[in-house]
Amino acid sequence: MGILGRNKGLHPHDLVFDHDDSLKKSHGLVRSGSNARIAATLENTSSWSPRPNKVLRSYYEQAMFQQYSGLGGAYVGAATELALIFMDTPPNMTQIWLQWQLEHQDLQLNIRLSPRGPSKTTPPPVHASTDELRLLYRAQYVSMIISLNYFIASGPALNTRRPIRPDLHCFALLHLAEPSCIAATPAWWAETWVQHRLEHEISSLYGLDWKQCAAWLLGHPTWPEGLELRHWPTWPTNIHPPKTPDEL
């Protein structure tokens, strides 16, 4: 609750965490594997699988509902998941995750994208728009949960460089899931540092199952086939984009 109190920002009602498929349903989408809960996939594919404290889910859901129901169902879902993952994360891994401040949005990434950030370079950096920064904020709880649930527990990747959250991957997925944003390509996405950042995000996570869960939690029915984030992704012909409000 201390983490949630510090990182929720000014518009917690806007944070996305589609654990119950309500966002997808509002766009007329049906999730792949919809016969199973998203929470079950998070539990079974986690770095900390089989996540034995999942048996306490109903207890934590009730506690978080009493505390956060005024902020909406997505917030309650994210709060519940965060509490349960912490129950199963080894204390030394929790300490490392918190030491790298992975419970928060990446400050350096936000500074780099913000027009208020440093601009004394040639050529000048391309900044994110206000709407893009808002999308980055709205995707932050999915990024936080994915980072902790799939945190690399051992091996060279943990020791060679600072782990980071999949903030840019989650931004791109939410951007594509928003009916009003599908056609817009961020002007800064072609920058070299973006490609390096995406590679670093992947190397900070365990396995590949996180992709499917991230897509689900951000409003997609599945990870779009052929999605390649080295270039701004487009919807494959076999996947229909979310409907606009006028089409619903």
Residue 246 domain-assigned?
A: no
Q: Write phi, then psi, for 58 (nearest 5 degrees).
A: -65, -35
Tell me the pLDDT tens digit for each residue of 153-168.
Answer: 666 555 567 899 999 9
Task: Give the count of domains, the chain.
Answer: 1
**pLDDT given at position 4:** 95
Residue 58 above 80 pLDDT?
yes
Q: How far apart are CA 216 and CA 175, in angstroms?
A: 13
Domain limits at 178?
2-117+124-217
Residue 248 domain-assigned?
A: no
Residue 247 domain-assigned?
A: no
Residue 147 domain-assigned?
A: yes
Q: How far apart are CA 134 and CA 54, in angstroms?
A: 32
The 10 Å Cβ neighbour count of residue 60 is: 19
Is 0.75 surpassed by the pTM of this model? Answer: yes
Residue 230 domain-assigned?
A: no
Pick from 45-49, 88-92, 190-194: least confident: 190-194
Residue 241 domain-assigned?
A: no
Residue 28 domain-assigned?
A: yes
Pick from 58-67, 204-213, 216-225: least confident: 216-225
Residue 85 domain-assigned?
A: yes
